[in-house]
Amino acid sequence: MNILVTGGAGFIGANFIFYLQKMHSEDRIVCLDKLTYAGNLSTISATLNNPNFRFVKDDICSREAVFKLFEEEHPDIVVNFAAESHVDRSIEEPGIFLQTNILGTQTLMDACRTYGVERYHQVSTDEVYGDLPLDRFDLFFTEQTPLHTSSPYSASKAGADLLVLAYHRTFGLPVTISRCSNNYGPYQFPEKLIPLMIANCLSDKSLPVYGKGENVRDWLYVEDHCKAIDLIVRNGKVGEVYNIGGHNEMRNIDIVKLICRELNKPESLITYVTDRKGHDMRYAIDPAKIHAELGWLPETRFEDGIKQTIKWYLDNRSWWNEIVSGEYKNYYDKMYGNR
Ligand code: NAD
Ligand code: DAU
């Protein structure tokens, strides 16, 4: 198999490359990544010399670059992770989200139609379903839940999902879509809740919790997500959507307190700051379909996954120190300076 992984220098894409190399070492992997602020070549540096691996720095929105790559590689499978992925940034600057997340998806699918693929897989998010209320813990997102987005990020992901399904119905493109809940694990950019709190704790900086910290997310260890995508791409039904999540709901404030405890830092570091605009209250996935059809279940318990993740950030300070001391520092000062 020749597998094109877009966005493979980012958090989940890189972990997916590692997963493929562990489980299917016979496959050739081509990684296409623009290396935006969120992409980091050092994450995949150990694999750059692997003869079964090729890295290409380019933009999924560039028709010329994408078609040239398909002409050279003729991928059998395309897994599209490339996206602008941070909700807070989408509130500051929506345009790039529409461009990359919707038009980039279109460009990739046009190349798939032209050159032919066995599968185009779109990595989507549970955020396309909007949010659930905090007083109805009996409700979950299923694949039938209507799309109802809150942020420019989630709207752009929902737009892409609709386009993917349209390309299947209109052009017969063999597509699948997965909608996953919040991931955590190694190599996550420290603008997201868990790595941001770990990095700030380790630097004795304040821990900025939005609003009252009561928002609930359904956390999944990144390797479990990678396993689910691999199963869908190889055994999932064309034209179908699969929800991925772990029945592991936690309030933000409880996560932050847990990180403080694990790192022996005082809870007095916690600072409640102005809430995110349009902040979704609760996400919760019903993963019954992927369990019934593909036998997938999350394997990593949160208690273990969070310890492994904290240990990874302790052992790999240089990876994230480089990020927090570079261009990201300006972003942090802008977003949190007067919050
Ligand atoms: P990330 O921000 O860590 O990585 C995104 C990667 O895409 C980066 O390497 C970046 O350089 C690359 N990229 C961005 N624009 C590009 C472009 N125009 N052309 C080529 N490459 C480009 O994101 P992530 O957290 O790894 O998320 C990956 C995918 O999974 C996204 O589609 C996201 O919507 C989805 N998702 C993420 C989560 C989560 O919890 N992180 C959960 C569900 C779904
Ligand atoms: O649900 C899947 C989504 O999860 C993905 O589609 C997104 O790409 C991914 O970024 C993530 O979105 P969230 O907005 O849920 O993740 P984030 O880590 O930004 O925030 C998690 C929660 O923590 C959210 O309720 C906001 C809150 N938060 C976040 C940050 C960065 C804080 O309280 N303080 C912070 O500093």
Delimit the domains of the chain by residue range: 2-188+219-249+280-301
Residue with tokens 């897989």: 121
Sign for the CA dihedral angle at 6, 10, 13, 17 comes to positive
180: Cβ below 6 Å to ligand 1?
yes
Mean pLDDT of the chain: 97
Res. 328: pLDDT tops 90: no
pLDDT band at residue 338 using 50, 70 and 90 as cut-offs: confident
* Overall fold of domain 2-188+219-249+280-301: Rossmann fold (3.40.50)
Per-residue pLDDT, averaged over 229-239, amounts to 98
User: Which residue's CA lies nearest to atom 34 of ligand 2?
Assistant: 209
Report d(CA 155, CA 325) in Å as an integer.
Answer: 31
Which residues, listed in sequence order, are joined to residue 49 by a DSSP beta bridge? Answer: none
Q: What is the pLDDT of residue 188?
A: 98
Per-residue pLDDT, averaged over 182-205, amounts to 98
CA angle 126, 199, 189 (to 5 degrees): 40
* 82 Cα to the center of ligand 1, angstroms: 5
86: Cβ below 6 Å to ligand 2?
yes
Tell me 53's DSSP state. E
Res. 304: pLDDT tops 90: yes
Report d(CA 242, CA 231) in Å as an integer.
Answer: 11
pLDDT band at residue 329 using 50, 70 and 90 as cut-offs: confident
pLDDT band at residue 246 using 50, 70 and 90 as cut-offs: confident
Which residues, listed in sequence order, are joined to residue 208 by a DSSP beta bridge? Answer: 271
Angle between helices 317-325 and 328-336 (to 10 degrees): 70
Res. 320: pLDDT tops 90: yes
pTM of the model: 0.98
157: Cβ below 6 Å to ligand 1?
yes
* 60 Cα to the center of ligand 1, angstroms: 12
pLDDT for 218-229, tens place per residue? 999 999 999 999
Identify which of 335, 339, 319 has the alpha carbon closest to the alpha carbon of residue 272.
339
Q: Is 251 in a helix, a strand, or coil?
A: strand
pLDDT for 34-51, tens place per residue? 999 999 999 999 999 999
